[in-house]
Amino acid sequence: MAISRYCSKLVLPHAQPPYPDLVDFLADYFPHVSAQEWARRIADGKVLDKHEQPLDRHGYQPQQVIYYYREVAEQPVIPFAENILYQDDALLVACKPHFLPVHPGGRYVTENLVYRLRQATGNDQLVPVHRIDRFTAGLVLFAQRADDRACYNALFSQGQVKKRYDAVAHCNSEPQQCHWQVANRIVQGDPWFCWQVVAGDVNARSYIDLLNYRDGYGLFSLQPITGKTHQLRLHMSGLGFGLVNDRYYPELLPEQPDDFSAPLQLLAKEIAFTDPVTGKNHHFESPRTLEKAF
């Protein structure tokens, strides 16, 4: 059994009377956790109100904040370590390995970057200010104080952060050009964890450069201008350059356990910005490299 020592919170949405049974609502909201399991947690006093008092299954109140602790019977162990590259009173910069999620979720209760870094630093306020998906390795920024999170978030939403990724992709033949500007619209697809390009107003932009080509593989430098989910993987796939070991794009492969010997060849390599709290000009580079040598 893996149980987080950090509580998660949820705001109960608006509903019309009669209000739903809290067990039924939570089972619908978190389909990976059964109604029987939620009933057990509530009976054990593990679902709390804002006063840290246990709720019963009839305690649904719209807009009420409830607190619970993530737990799973078993969770995968990610056998790779993260690195802390920098920290001051306001900011922490970490480099995460492939396969490790940034946030807790699903089967990952303690095997995530947030939990590991809070344990390592003793700072329970530490919060990530952006994310990269668990299959991608590289740089992730954290606010040391929860109250500073919004101003760091604003750097990303306002396009004030310069980011660069390294990627290795399949190339059927040597590309006839070495620079692309991709601009299109990305929305959530079906299944929900895959995204897709559709017609409509542009919301995703990337600059892509080919650095080297050899034997059916290309080494690319990717600069995302926006930050849509799976943006770089979709943009590369759309150009005909599927990333090595990408199990989602251009084709969703059947689910299987992680193959730690075949990580997605995508690395958040560099990040630069002016710190909104301290005013410092920062530039960080990941010490990690991709496995495919050029």
Q: What is the pLDDT of residues 254-273, one digit of tens each?
A: 999 999 999 999 999 999 99
**Same domain (yes/no): 236, 259:** yes
Could you list the residue range(s) of the whole structural domain that residue 94 is in? 83-158
pLDDT over threshold 90, residue 70? no
Structural domain ending residue among the three candidates 130, 158, 186 = 158
In a domain, 274, yes or no: no
Q: Say what the pLDDT of residue 293 is.
A: 59
Q: Say what the pLDDT of residue 110 is.
A: 94
Stated pTM of the model: 0.87
In a domain, 172, yes or no: yes
Q: Say what the pLDDT of residue 105 is.
A: 84
**Same domain (yes/no): 182, 235:** yes
**Same domain (yes/no): 142, 227:** no
CATH number at residue 188: 3.30.2350.10
**Same domain (yes/no): 174, 239:** yes
pLDDT over threshold 70, residue 34? yes
In a domain, 178, yes or no: yes
Structural domain ending residue among the three candidates 135, 158, 181 = 158
What is the b/e burial string over 113-148, where b = at least 16 CB atoms within 10 angstroms of the residue's CB?
bbbbbbeebeeeebbbbbbbebbbbbbbbbbbeeeb
pLDDT tens string 190-236: 998 999 999 999 999 999 999 999 999 999 999 999 999 999 999 99
Q: Say what the pLDDT of residue 7 is.
A: 85
pLDDT tens string 75-117: 999 999 999 999 999 999 999 999 999 998 888 999 999 999 9
CATH number at residue 65: 3.10.290.10
In a domain, 288, yes or no: no
pLDDT tens string 273-284: 999 999 999 999
In a domain, 271, yes or no: no
CA angle 79, 128, 165 (to 5 degrees): 70
67-76, 83-92, 167-176, 230-239: lowest mean pLDDT where? 67-76
- What's the CA gap between 58 and 179, in Å, rounded? 59
pLDDT over threshold 80, residue 1? no
Average pLDDT, the chain: 95
Structural domain ending residue among the three candidates 40, 72, 104 = 72
In a domain, 210, yes or no: yes
Give percent of the chain above pLDDT 70: 99
In the chain, the number of structural domains is: 3
- What's the CA gap between 135 and 252, in Å, rounded? 14
**Same domain (yes/no): 189, 251:** yes
**How many of the other CB atoms lie within 10 Å of CB of 173?**
8
